[in-house]
Chain A
Amino acid sequence: MTDLDRYIRQTTFPALGKEGQKKLLASKVLLVGCGALGSASAVSMVRSGIGHLIIVDQDIPELVNLHRQFLYDEENMKERIPKAIVAADKLAKMNSQVKIEPVVAELRSENIEKIAQGVNLVIDGTDNLQTRYLINDFCVKNNVPWIYGGVIGAFGMMMVIIPGKTACLRCLFPEPPAPGSLPSCETEGVLNPAPLLIAALEVMEAIKILIGSDKVKTGLTNIDLWEHTFSTVETKRNPHCPACGQNKYEFLDRKKTDWSTSLCGRNAVQLSPAEPVQLDLQSLKQRLEKIGKVSFNGYLLEADLEGLKIIIFPDGRAIISGTTDETKARSFYNRYLGR
């Protein structure tokens, strides 16, 4: 069968074989986020012959992405073409047997059911935890396996989630972190071997899941590449887990992702959390000071970052000036406030 010729160096691996390869070619996978993790996992999945890949991403390649987001180059950065489109074009040249479907959008509770319809697996390449809680809700509810991957600095985590069998994200971390409490790649930096390695682990487990292997590695894998330490700890399902224990899908039902977004005045976007939060602006100031000009007057924090000006209030409300693009403003907010 000529369709399989190009994969002979992997079908020769006995645990995969031609039967496994056929299963990969018949699989449909959703990749959420195509930055550093996503670039690496997309290339790996497309070259491996995972038959149908949907790539969701809302961003445009930028200069500060290029050190780690391997699908993009200087030309793409100047062209201002969305990452999902650039990625799909490049990936199509790597393997024309794979159907690649770019979606330029922010994955939200309103569109996830449509975008993820019929997928066999979801791979995590996002840059925020809010989206991961949404993915977790969708996957648990619809019995779709997904693979969590996250990185920061030279550190990364990976966990396979098979609804009904393994712990889910909320079994381990029932609540998402408070806004502003979580370090991000913007404030702590990231070295590209970390996302490369985590993406490689994600794809390896994806292949095992898609071919029905019994070798799928469960548990939470933690890797610190700077210290060169690797560990996987066992995880157990929490019978009281809001998602997989009690079937409460708060993120999918928008109870916790509902951000009221309104344009205020000229060239500015205002974002407010649906639920009131209490931000520690002093510690946020200390983190943001590493990367931009920040001032805090005791009532509100103002920062100049990436050519945008953001004003943050203690209740989580923010005004972002320098753009009228709500999606861009929300992405900016998520990155710097760690949502």
Chain B
Amino acid sequence: MSVAELVAHLGLKPGRVAVELNREVVPRDRHAEVRVEEGAVLEIVQAVGGG
């Protein structure tokens, strides 16, 4: 599964979240090509707005 497919599968808006794969942010334009392999450490983050 690609990062883009995963984001879509989770029902998230692609432009509004950042995906960290194995401790590195996957650039947005590479979401379609980067594969999420088994055992990958994945974190999906949303910018926080408070201050």
- The 0/1 profile, CB within 8 Å of B marked 1, for residues 176-217 of chain A is 111001101100001000010000000000000000000000
| Shortest Cβ gap from A278 to chain B (Å) | 12
A48 to B29, CA, bound (A): 40
User: Which 9 A-B pairs have CB atoms at the shortest separation, nearest pair first?
Assistant: A175-B15, A185-B50, A150-B48, A174-B15, A37-B51, A172-B18, A238-B27, A152-B50, A129-B49
Known: A173-B18, A235-B25, A240-B28. A150 touches B47 (CB 8 A): yes
Whether B27 contacts A171 by the Cβ 8 Å rule is yes
> With an 8 A cutoff between CB atoms, is B9 at the interface?
no
A233 near B20 (CB under 8 angstroms)?
Answer: yes
Report the interface size for chain B: residues with CB under 8 A from the other chain.
20
Say yes or no: A124-B46 contact (C-beta < 8 A), given A173-B16, A239-B29: no
* CB contacts between A and B, total, < 8 Å: 101
> Can you list 25 residue pairs at the A/B interface with Cβ under 8 Å?
A37-B51, A124-B51, A127-B49, A148-B47, A149-B51, A150-B47, A150-B51, A152-B48, A171-B28, A172-B47, A173-B15, A173-B46, A174-B15, A175-B13, A177-B16, A185-B50, A195-B50, A195-B51, A220-B20, A220-B25, A220-B45, A233-B43, A238-B28, A238-B29, A240-B28
Once bound together, how far apart are the Cα atoms of A235 and B16, in whole Å?
16
- Give the residues from 28 to 44 in chain B that come closer than 8 angstroms, CB to CB, to chain A: 28-29, 43
Kindly state whether residue B8 has any CB partner on chain A within 8 Å.
no
Residue of A172, A184, A233 near B49 (CB, 8 A) is A184
Closest to B27 in A: A238
Task: List 14 additional A-B contacts (Cβ < 8 Å) besides A36-B51, A173-B16, A238-B29.
Answer: A36-B50, A127-B50, A150-B50, A151-B51, A155-B48, A157-B47, A157-B48, A173-B17, A175-B16, A176-B16, A184-B50, A185-B51, A234-B25, A235-B24
Cα separation A230 to B48 with both chains bound (whole Å): 16
- Say if the beta carbon of A95 comes within 8 Å of chain B: no
Contact partner of B25 (CB less than 8 A), chosen from A127, A174, A236, is: A236
In the docked arrangement, what's the CA distance between A239 and B27, Å?
A: 9
- Asked whether A316 is an interface residue with its Cβ less than 8 Å from the other chain, the reply is no
CA distance A305 to B51 in the complex (A): 20
Do A35 and B51 touch across chains, with their CB atoms under 8 A apart?
yes
CB contacts under 8 Å to B, within A104-142, are 124-129, 132
The contact size tier of chain A is: 35 or more
A277, chain B: closest CB distance, angstroms: 12
Task: Name the A residues within 8 Å of B24 (CB-CB).
Answer: 233-236
Shortest Cβ distance from A290 into chain B, in angstroms?
A: 15
* CB neighbours of A157 from chain B (8 A): 45, 47-48
Q: Tell me the bound Cα distance from A155 to B43 in angstroms.
A: 15
Which of chain B's residues has its CB closest to A125's CB?
B51
Asked, given contacts A172-B18, A220-B25, A233-B24, whether A178 binds B49 with beta carbons under 8 Å apart, the answer is: no
